[in-house]
Structure 1
């Protein structure tokens, strides 16, 4: 497609294209250097860019604002700075941006800047030549070089030593670097995304972070909200996490447990929610994660529904398991029969009477249940 220039108006024409897209226009000039046409590069923005991991799930206004910015930033070449508390999903957001970028087929190299000792930082980032220092027995390719043609994600960039910040700035400005002990400049082309939980502006004021580097990194900032700022996203987040936890296969959240999860502050954010659910899954006896499976510090939080109120009766006291999500009726019946069967301790006659069905009907349903699951208790 082309964008033809006519007077002061420009018309973009598409054929058979729908969906979100990023459009870049490149001028085509004649011999007199006059722009006569624009070459149009259209890049479709995948709807799945921010749906690739549990931490990227959510429908709250705060999270929708974030996903809109991620979709906007992904196909561009802008340097992105992800800000937010630890555990809010900054690396997953960086991966989502990479997946929607022009270099999605290249490598995604993530560097935890807080985990590298200062003595090895330069070698890890830029690599080194053989004999550059004691122990350098061979040439080593650095992470910057490994990211060529892809995305370099510098996590916790606020922890980069001042002595290396100037070298990183030079790399971003020129695209060239030198290995430790090397003399030849090496070119590396990559998309840069960085992240930090530290207050970089204050660090600049305190001269603990270079101002020129900060301006270079802060081209397109995205602030990821803390989990306590989007508690309405707990139900879909918890469901997505449970679906991906091997120990939680087939488990469901009881309504009482979900209510408890929605009244906690999560100082550790999504990472803490995942740990809570993994622990609860290990404690669950059947298919339900119950309130008593959650940590003690989640018990009796302000705002929780009290036992005996609507939709908040404990699973041990209710006449049926609480349901925190919509599931197929056949699956719900299986779960209910399994729960009811265990509650009546093998007394099928009493159970049939309580359910209001004949013993034959109950036998048939239990036999069908036995053929589909190993969780039914044999009489």
Structure 2
């Protein structure tokens, strides 16, 4: 930020207000109509200003290092919005902190003077955990408008108990968003339990989710607690909820509506307290219309839908993501991308989104012996992810989606690996779960067209 010159006459906040804010656990500041900070509680001083006083400085200078108010620098200004509405306002801002930039959920409350006009403003700050505005080793990363719009929705719904449905293409980071929702909720101290719906066949789904008693079926040699019960008090994340078998959907609906369930092999009604976050890459609306997904379950899950933007819509985020992903895939090396290599990656669509970008970067890192990844390394990484089957011509395009590979081509690849899906998934640069899902989709399409 530009150096904030202290004003000669510093305004004062009421002693009672300062005393009240001092005891609050969340960071709070108070500022006047001219954006000058007149009070900052202990929580704020610990987290954001441990070494210097912010009193007398402007809120936009301290938080954003701006020389002008937020709304004049491309940000949404809660004070300006409050002046228009005359009431409390909330915004999501990217703040400078001693640890670097971080997304902060801000709630601003105007305090009226004796004449009824706002004289002071109280600003509460809540960090949005698992999100970053710069390259980091974990969590959601980005600065683009589409990314920030998604984060604002996360900040809005996370503190509530509303069910959330995450909609987006494969590889957009749905599990990371689910974790961000969990960590920003009142359930953050309890478990986040993931149910991988795509990998559970109908015969196992009920036992995995609801648990089973000893002897309930062949192989059930001991009682087992289900995932829904394990998540009691926390968050149950239903990943790829569109893959839940239709007969199981009614039992899941009962769990969501009443919090009750029965273990397989038991007549005892049990209860669990969970907040549900679901995710899918499928068009659930079309599945409802086709009778493949229950309409009542859809509306129960989609109380608050959030769309995750694909990588191609996140202009400007690729460089941040690439730096963070390189640190994750090669933590012992200080790898960077040459400008030409970054430009090369920026020209690709990445139908597999962030997951595909990570795979390409990991392969490029393996081809690179130095500390700078050049275009030649990226080209080899792209080629290595798209092996050509015997007798087939090479692809003209540098990349293509798994969805463009036919069932027959996948069968041939799988046969070449002796039916070992794990090896084929590694060859294609995707997860085994993604390969399983694609094979299943193609199987459904083939049976439906006969």
CA–CA separation in structure 2 for the residues paired with 1:112 and 1:282 = 30
Whether 1:287 and 2:287 are equivalent positions in the alignment is no
Q: Tell me, what secondary structure is at the counterpart of 1:88? A: coil
Distance 1:181 1:206, change over 3 A: same
Measure how far apart 1:214 and its partner are.
Answer: 0.4
Residue 10 (structure 1) aligns with: none
Alpha-carbon displacement from aligned partner over 1:83-126 (angstroms, at most 9, x marks no partner): 00000000010011111110101011011100011111100010
Residues of 2 paired with 1:191 and 1:76: CA distance?
A: 9
Q: Which TM-score applies when normalising by structure 1?
A: 0.67
What's the offset of the Cα at 1:135?
1.1
1:207 aligned residue:
291
Which of 288, 297, 303 is residue 219 of structure 1 equivalent to? 303
Residue 96 (structure 2) pairs with residue 15 (structure 1): no
Gaps of at least 5 residues in structure 1 are 1-12, 24-42, 303-379
Measure the CA separation in 2 of the matches of 1:298 and 1:150: 40
Question: TM-score under structure 2 normalisation?
Answer: 0.57
Cα shift readout 1:120-179 (whole Å, capped 9, x = no counterpart): 110001000011111111101111011011110000000101101111111111111000
For residues 320-339 of structure 1, what are the structure 2 equivalents within 5 Å? none
For this pair of structures, how many residues does the alignment match? 272
> What is the aligned counterpart of 1:48 among 120, 129, 153?
129
Contact 1:82/1:223 (CA < 8 Å) preserved in 2? yes
Find the partner of 1:117 among 193, 201, 209: 201
The alignment's C-alpha RMSD in Å is 2.5
2:336 to 234, 237, 252: 252
Q: What displacement does 1:54 show?
A: 4.9
Distance 2:149 2:201 in 1: 36
1-structure distance, mates of 2:106, 2:203 = 44
- State how far apart, in whole Å, the 1-side matches of 2:379 and 2:231 are: 41
Alpha-carbon distance in 2 for matches of 1:107, 1:203: 31
Contact (CA 8 Å) 2:238, 2:278: kept in 1 or not?
A: yes
Q: Could you tell me how far apart the structure 2 residues matched to 1:198 and 1:53 are?
A: 29
Q: Which residue of 2 aligns with 1:138?
A: 222
Q: CA deviation at 1:55?
A: 6.2
In the alignment, structure 1 residue 83 sits paired with structure 2 residue 83: no
Query: How has the CA–CA distance of structure 1 residues 148 and 183 changed in structure 2, closer, same or farther, with 3 Å as cutoff?
Result: same
Structure number with greater Rg is 1
* Cα distance between partner residues in 2 of 1:173 and 1:232: 42
Q: Distance in 2 between matches of 1:281 and 1:214?
A: 42
- Matching of residues 142-161 of structure 1 within 5 Å: 142-161=226-245
| Relative contact order higher in (CA < 8 Å, ≥ 6 apart) | 1
1:271 corresponds, among 345, 352, 355, to: 355
